[in-house]
Amino acid sequence: MAVTEASLLRQCPLLLPQNRSKTVYEGFISAQGRDFHLKVVLPEDLQLKNARLLCSWQLRTILNGYHQIVQQRMQHSPDLMSFMMELKMLLEVALKNRQELYAPPPPPQFYSSLIEEIGTLGWDRLVYVDTCFSTIKLKAEDASGREHLITLKLKAKYPAESPDCFVDFPVPFSASWTPQSSLISIYSQFLAAIESLKAFWDVMDEIDEKTWVLEPEKPPRSATARRIALVVKPLGIKLSRNIHLWDPENSVLQNLKDVLEIDFPARAILEKSDFTMDCGICYAYQLDGAIPDQVCDNSQCGQPFHQICLYEWLRGLLTSRQSFNIIFGECPYCSKPITLKMSGRKH
């Protein structure tokens, strides 16, 4: 208890007990350099869930609309210090939102300069602008004809403060900015970044167009990995045997074909054949966001299963045996031996 009281005094030095039993605390809570008067009345058992919070009219006004959250925090806080820390964070948020709500509009030159900058860039590059001119979306096309967007969140002190930039890139985009910078300068940096990533996107587009990409289903430009459907397994031996065939002059997809000695069938071709990626137990492709990632080792079978489906199936067989997180059993389709290594997230 002494430790809690010391922590409370350290965090809220202006909030002091008013009686010996310490059931009444009165004083001030500080946030953003301002002090707000309040009083906390605790029951005899000192349980916060039955306490009363009395606020000054200033504090009540600022917390207007947050009453339910305050009550929730009071119900779940283990002690007064924890509640006061929660209340202080909530007050910080309320003050910030209040400042943004009642912030004075930018001067007229803010809008006129932005309109001039957009005009210089070209109105055809403008995708979206909100009524406050605080959010602007611009588009650009790379040398391969791909369209890219950049979203700019302008701050009240623009251009003294740099805007926040949001792009769909596989690497961080950090634009250099000075008070003399403009949309034109940041757009130029955006174009340069796009050009530097062209080769990467060319490789990924070739994979997306010529193979069946299982995950992600609709890859964003920021995605750096692909999960591809294959019709042969395993490939480890060919990979180790042919890795010397990798030629930097060839595309990634062509190198994979040479090294693995296979063709990557496109989705349209596989869907027309007998090949299926649906789970052989639940007959679905996606199950709680997971796709079939367990495949029978028998080359004549190759049936895929969801990990959890195969786990439940094998667990129900009397012939199955388990060693730590590995289960040994028979394939539900071909009855050949199948091994399942369970990951922790599937239990």
CATH number of the structural domain spanning residue 322: 3.30.40.10
Residues paired with 29 in a beta bridge: 36
Contact between 125 and 139 under an 8 Å Cβ cutoff? The reply is: yes
Number of residues assigned to the chain: 347
Phi (first) and psi of residue 12, to 5 degrees: -130, 75
Residue spans of beta strands (DSSP E) within 9-143? 15-17, 24-31, 34-41, 52-55, 126-129, 135-141
Whether residue 136 sits in one domain with residue 172: yes
Whether residue 133 sits in one domain with residue 85: no
Whether residue 174 sits in one domain with residue 147: yes
What the block records as the tokens of 328 is 């040994």
Whether residue 95 sits in one domain with residue 18: yes
Whether residue 283 sits in one domain with residue 265: no
**This prediction's pTM:** 0.53
Residue 213 belongs to a domain = no
Whether residue 321 sits in one domain with residue 234: no
List the CATH number of the domain containing 235: 3.10.110.20
Cβ count within 10 A of residue 7: 16
Eight-class DSSP state of 290: B
Whether residue 13 sits in one domain with residue 60: yes
Amino acid identity for residue 269 in this structure: I
Whether residue 309 sits in one domain with residue 293: yes
Residue 205 belongs to a domain = no
Cα distances from 318 to residues 74, 233, 237, 298, 321, in angstroms, run 53, 28, 34, 22, 8
Element (H, E) at 163: none
The residue from 84, 101, 118 where one domain ends is 101
Strand-by-strand arrangement of the 15-17 sheet: 15-17, 24-31, 34-41, 52-55
**Cα-to-chain-centroid distance, residue 227:** 20
Which SS3 state, helix, strand or coil, does residue 156 take? coil
Range of the domain at 254: 229-272
Residue 301 belongs to a domain = yes
What is the count of structural domains for the chain?
A: 4
Matching residue, tokens 């007229």: 108
pLDDT of 124 reads 95
pLDDT in tens, 123-182: 999 999 998 888 999 999 999 999 999 999 998 788 888 999 999 999 999 899 998 999
What the block records as the tokens of 228 is 């591809």
Residue 183 belongs to a domain = yes
Whether residue 267 sits in one domain with residue 251: yes
Give dist(CA 304, CA 346) in Å, integer: 17
Whether residue 303 sits in one domain with residue 253: no
Residue 346 belongs to a domain = no
Residue 43 belongs to a domain = yes
pLDDT of 271 reads 54
pLDDT of 236 reads 66
Residue 73 belongs to a domain = yes
List the CATH number of the domain containing 55: 3.10.110
Give dist(CA 169, CA 150) in Å, integer: 10
The residues of the chain scoring below 50 in pLDDT are 272-273, 345-347
Strand-strand pairing, 337-341 and 326-330 = antiparallel
Which SS3 state, helix, strand or coil, does residue 192 take? helix
pLDDT of 103 reads 64
Residue 49 belongs to a domain = yes
User: Which are the contacts of 55, defined by CB distance < 8 A and separation ≥ 6?
Assistant: 36, 37, 38, 63
Whether residue 89 sits in one domain with residue 140: no
pLDDT of 346 reads 46
3-state secondary structure 216-268: CCCCCCCCCCCEECCCCCCCHHHHHHHHHHCCCCCCHHHHHHHHHCCCCCCHH
Whether residue 160 sits in one domain with residue 124: yes
The residue from 86, 101, 116 where one domain ends is 101
